[in-house]
Amino acid sequence: MGNSRNICVISVILLVIISNVEVYVESIPTTLEGPFKPVTTKFDKSLRKGSDDLPMDHPRLRRNVTSMFPEQLSLSLSSPSSMWVSWVTGKAQIGLNVTPLDPKTVASEVWYGKESGKYTMKATGKSMVYSQLYPFEGLLNYTSGIIHHVNIDGLVPKTKYYYKCGDSSLAAMSKEYTFETLPLPSPNNYPRRIAIIGDLGLTSNSSTTIDHVIENDPSLILMIGDLSYANQYLTTGGKGASCYSCAFPDAPIRETYQPRWDGWGRFMEPLISRVPMMVIEGNHEIEPQAAGITFKSFLTRFSVPGKESGSNSNFFYSFDAAGVHFVMLGAYVDYNTTGYQYSWLQEDLQKVNRKVTPWLVAVWHSPWYNSYSSHYQEFECMRLEMEELLYQHGVDIVFSGHVHAYERMNRVYNYILDPCGPVYITVGDGGNIEKIDVEHADDPGKCPSASDNVPEFGSVCHLNFTSGPAKGKFCWDAQPEWSAYRESSFGHGILEVVNSSYALWTWHRNQDIYKGNSAGDQIYIVRQPELCLRNHCTS
């Protein structure tokens, strides 16, 4: 074991020298040195715990096109050789009586090619509208602009493409945009940088996060739920609230101000019109309507490879990004072992070829391992149903959001330190209006009661620990041994996969964006399939 560890450390040094990374490897730990003694960085009182939402007339949110010209452009991966291009045309409506636009009145076209101004290929797709309806006195209804989704196929890997979208017959085409395809799945190919963002919203803090992400120049983005926070408003708009139930106790239903979604699409367009973004739903995307309809905006606005990955659902799916296989799971649809999502997950994991995609990364909104008071043990039921399956198949990293703070775990399985368990990382601190979480469940007097933190979907499975330092208790008396590092501040993460064994994880704090070193937490995550082969179904 000792010799193996020394060889691995030497490998890291060589890799850094070869790739000319300007960093001293000795200063960056690896998971081989873990488990680490828990560390907490206290909330910096010079920082604000949050900020108000940007107004709808803010330059980054307001509508700047006319007629049927495209806006809110976004990209998402469909397969290693295909890409979804999405956009919106026409003006959304909000009022007591709204009339949906007719999607047939405008075409869905993408013109693209390998040279600027020379579009040798054309693809067409589908278009749709959705409505958010509230038959309650005083509540306004909403109907969207026309939302377009076009799949462009036959793309060459590691190639830059130029594209326009819109309706050429109406002379309503967008300006030229570009994107670069990822390498094909291979143990020697990886995305340049993968940005991980959770619980983003539309505040001043959100702006800093996205500015920072743009500066870090990712080639892929994972958006881990809770995107626009349109449901922090009444249907009449006005000012959003950090606590909806506190501000609007008499609301007949959890209202939403849907124009915030359009503002979010404009806010994100400069980034996601050139870098593919893969999304998964969070609780703020539920958005119930009176007829029991949920997730209407989420399901209509975003294209994800549900059918391509065999799930036939946009709530959970998988995809390959070069040598990484991502599994995107839904925490707000049935996750029980008897359900469809679980059976799909079993089949998907069995198909993974670790010789082609060595890295296996799982993503869902609500964390299983969390030492903050907020959402403490909220999704224990999901953990009890799914954790063993992920462990058996050797999942390397798990990303979640929901908790508005940063936390990285030691490798863990069933609350026990385990060198073959995944590294769980919570990045729910994108900058939303609900503000940062600063209280830990192990702080004196901050342990939630067993009746707190009831999930918006699923059952309650809160438990007292049966072994270890917290045996017989609902909360630990100190930071749990599985919690390696935690800090309350806004930011985002960057994952840089070096090879089939090493990946550099960096958490970038917003308050450090203007400093030379913006790394709040940094570690090399190291795979050891040979060590864990006896436990895992795959290697």
Distance in Å from the first CA to the final CA of the chain: 18
- Give DSSP secondary structure letters for 350-379: HH--TTT--EEEEE-SS-SS--BSTTTTTT
Q: What is the CB-side half-sphere exposure of residue 280 using CA atoms within 13 A? A: 27
Distance between CA atoms of residues 288 and 74, nearest Å: 25
Query: What is the rounded radius of gyration, in angstroms, for the C-alpha atoms of the chain?
Result: 23
Active site residue 149: no
Q: Which candidate, 147, 142, 181, places its Cα nearest to that of 73?
A: 147
What six digits make up the tokens of 535?
A: 């436990």
SS (H, E, C) 34-83: CCCCCEEECCCCCCCCCCCECCCCCCCCCCCCCCCCCEEEEEEEEECCEE
DSSP-derived 3-state class of residue 274: coil
Sign, CA torsion 291/380/423/201: positive
Distance between CA atoms of residues 104 and 127, nearest Å: 8
Which of the residues 375, 440, 492, 508 is marked catalytic? 375
Please, which residues have CB within 8 angstroms of residue 244's CB and are 6 or more apart in sequence? 231, 232, 251, 254
Distance between CA atoms of residues 247 and 14, nearest Å: 56
Buried b / exposed e over 324-344, threshold 16 CB at 10 Å, is bbbbbbbbbbebeeeeebbeb
CA distances from 345 to 48, 224, 330, 402, 489 (A): 40, 18, 11, 22, 33
389 has which bridge partners? none
DSSP-derived 3-state class of residue 202: coil
Write down how long the chain is.
539
SS (H, E, C) 151-189: EECCCCCCCEEEEEEEEHHHCEECCCEEEECCCCCCCCC
Place of tokens 């004196």: 444
Please, which residues have CB within 8 angstroms of residue 260's CB and are 6 or more apart in sequence? 53, 56, 202, 228, 229, 230, 233, 240
Residues marked active site are found at 375
